[in-house]
Amino acid sequence: MNNFKNSGQTLPLAGQNSHSASVISGGQTYMTAETAATMRAMAVAADLDLPRYLLAGEIQRLLDYVPDLRQRLLLETLWNTGGRINEVLSLTPGDFHLHGHQAFVVLRTLKQRQRGRGRPVRGERISRAVALPDPHYQRRVREYIATFGLRQHERFWPLSSDNTPRNWISAAITRAADDNVTFPVDPITCHTFRHSFAMHLLLHGVPLKVIQAYLGHSRVSSTEIYTRIFTLDLNWLGSVRFSQ
């Protein structure tokens, strides 16, 4: 089974998308696309406490229904970086380092830190780098900057809240539904892309500590929630038997 069934149409798990052509191509993987879809369906049916995520081909299909260049690049950036929506909305061309083979982007989030008993909480900008391995995404960022003539410190998306990106996603889902294409996650939000990014890396064998760093989690326990899907995969047990 290489496709995920939808009402009226099949949704391919593989496609030309960011990070790789499919869940099972390129690099070490823990499970195939077929198994990943099956395990996700089992987790949903069992009501396991697992983040709702889309697989790579499903993300690509959703992006196919986002014709606007500005809207599409924002969703692609969520998918390629795993950033929180407020982090992505604050990005400028100066945050992207796209020269050479070590392309990356710097994400910044406002963390609140207590500076002592009775003292006020102070906001502090915490930065982290996220590698950008997809040359197609790198090219689209460069083209976007050139097309709109963005300056180094000019924001890509000068939006005041995340309501607008939410509406963009909803519009894409509506256009897809008009073609009888549906998705296995409902609702799909900006944070769905973050969960999908984390699971995509995990499915490709990226170490948990690296994923933790990319997501900006202060505790690895926050990242470990994504590994719960693997408890449903019998392949981990191999030839283990509990009876003689």
**Of the candidates 158, 107, 102, the residue with the CA atom closest to the CA atom of residue 133:** 102
The 3-class SS string of 82-130 reads: CCCHHHHHCCCHHHEECCCCCCEEEEEEEEEEECCCCCCEEEEEEEEEE
Name the token pair of 37: 């879809």
Residue 183 near residue 55, CB atoms below 8 Å: no
Three-state SS at 48: coil
Residue 21 CB neighbours (<10 A): 14
Helices of type H across the chain: 33-45, 56-63, 69-81, 85-89, 135-148, 163-178, 190-203, 208-215, 220-224
In terms of Cα–Cα distance, which of 139, 137, 135 is closest to 147?
Answer: 139
The catalytically annotated residue of 65, 144, 214, 226 is 226
Instruction: State yes or no: is 226 an active-site residue.
Output: yes
Percent helix, strand and coil across the chain, each to the nearest 5:
45, 10, 40
Q: Can you read off the two tokens belonging to residue 219?
A: 């505790």
Provide the annotated active-site residues: 226
